[in-house]
Amino acid sequence: MSEYTERLQVPLETISWEDDNFIEELLDVVQLFRPFSVSITEFITEHGYDGDSFDTGAKVAFIRAAFEKAGMDAPREVREWFTVGQPIKRDTAFLICFAFGLDGSETDEFFRRYYARERSFNCHRVQEAVYYFCLNNGLSYAEALDIQARIPLTVDNRKSTDVVYTGSIIADLNEMETKEELISYLTVNNDKFSDSNVTAYEMIRHLWESSAGSNGLLLGEREKLPSMLDDAAFGKKTGLRAANTGVRPWDAYLAIFQLDKKDVRKLETDRTIKPIIEKLHADAQDSFPDRQGIELILHGKHVSYERVRKWLVLLTFYTFWAGKAVKLTTYEAKTGDAARCISHMNQMLIDAGYPEMYVGNPYDWIFLYAAQSSEPLTTFRYIWNELLTTTLEEHQ
């Protein structure tokens, strides 16, 4: 474990949601997450850079030399990574992996630990299928460009309406050994590259039905378990309205976080909790799950990789703990449940083609923290309720 992840592991085990200054402690953790300038410095140090970690000129020269050695043009904005904290784009992340001679698994790890967002290879995209083959077979970026120049990059959607999963494409790619095999495959099977995120979308639809459906966990919770929204003083239990098809998206969204709709209205937003999440790290804010996102996914509309991943993390976490709570009529976790939850979340992410949970990812950190508490779902909801209270107080 690196010094960076060790530093983020400590508050997972030392901060208690029962502390008087819990929210202040939680927001202090936000300051621990590193920008890309720091993560790329660690990366190049692991790959041969032995100069001063604060010497921008030396770091830029080292990166440019790596690109030159690989026969590639370095991104023009390399210096800006360090001077103005400019983040990198997805394709730039792949260029770095080529320049430093990473293989497929190392590229996955680069996306998880250093890029710390999205997914690595989406082999439903022709370009990234080429990257996958080349990086796994030790081929250069120049060879990747040569392959791309010899195949149709425009997808033909007319040939087949069958759903093709990313996993089947990856299995096909793993069977190939030569560029010629790949070129032939990509040319003949061009119609396979018309969709992406098929597996993740199916997972999210299933998890949403399990959560918000007519027999879903949200309704089960309200029936069998206490809610933060209950009026304990008068013994009044808060209900959750549902139609034949289940709970409406906005109501279900708020119920997952157990936020009071009347209080959220005071934020004066159009069905969003954006003012609450503005207190979080920018990487946690980016593509944070929202009502619009889930409606787009449920209707099969395209959304970003990051939006998909964050919804998948949220729903997997919720259904794991809510399923246990409804079954046992208690929110208390048992010994080993935290490890089982994290393992389950990692497997879901892997199956959908996304990187595992990472303590250095500000969004993931919240779920890893809650999972290790005595009442994970209660702790998770307490965070958002406290952030809502703090935000409303500031607005007043």
Residue 107 has pLDDT above 90, yes or no: yes
Residue 110 has pLDDT above 70, yes or no: yes
Q: What is the pLDDT of residue 387?
A: 94
Spatial separation of the C-alpha atoms in residues 35 and 39, rounded to whole Å = 7
Least confident of 20-24, 60-64, 114-118, 262-266: 114-118
What residues contact residue 18 under an 8 Å CB cut-off, 6+ apart?
none
Tokens of 332: 């208390």
Spatial separation of the C-alpha atoms in residues 343 and 283, rounded to whole Å = 23
The CA-based diameter of the chain, rounded to the nearest angstrom, is 74
Mean pLDDT of the chain: 91
Q: What is the pLDDT of residue 152?
A: 75
Q: What is the pLDDT of residue 244?
A: 84
Q: How far is CA 262 from CA 267, 268, 302, 360, in A?
A: 9, 10, 31, 34
pTM for the complete prediction? Answer: 0.88
Instruction: Specify the DSSP class assigned to residue 192.
Output: G
Residue 329, phi-psi category: left (phi > 0), alpha (psi -120 to 50), beta (remainder): left
Closest CA to 241 of 214, 264, 273, 205: 214
Tokens of 286: 């980016």
Spatial separation of the C-alpha atoms in residues 247 and 289, rounded to whole Å = 17
Residue 122: burial class (beta carbons within 10 Å; 0-12, 13-18, 19+): buried
Tokens of 28: 């202090």
Q: How far is CA 266 from CA 248, 262, 276, 322, 392, in A?
A: 20, 7, 12, 28, 7
3-state helix, strand, coil in the chain (%, to 5): 60, 0, 40
Spatial separation of the C-alpha atoms in residues 74 and 77, rounded to whole Å = 9
Using the structure block, give the residue that is written with the tokens 């730039």. Answer: 92
pLDDT classification of 1: cutoffs 50, 70, 90:
low
pLDDT in tens, 190-236: 877 766 678 899 999 999 999 999 999 999 999 999 988 887 555 67
> CA gyration radius for the chain?
23
Residue 81 has pLDDT above 90, yes or no: yes
The mean pLDDT of 156-178, rounded to a whole number, is: 75
**Whether 103 contacts 138, CB under 8 Å:** yes
Query: Could you tell me which residues are beta bridge partners of residue 231?
Result: 236
The mean pLDDT of 57-68, rounded to a whole number, is: 98
Q: What is the pLDDT of residue 158?
A: 45
pLDDT in tens, 4-42: 999 999 999 999 988 889 999 999 998 899 999 999 999
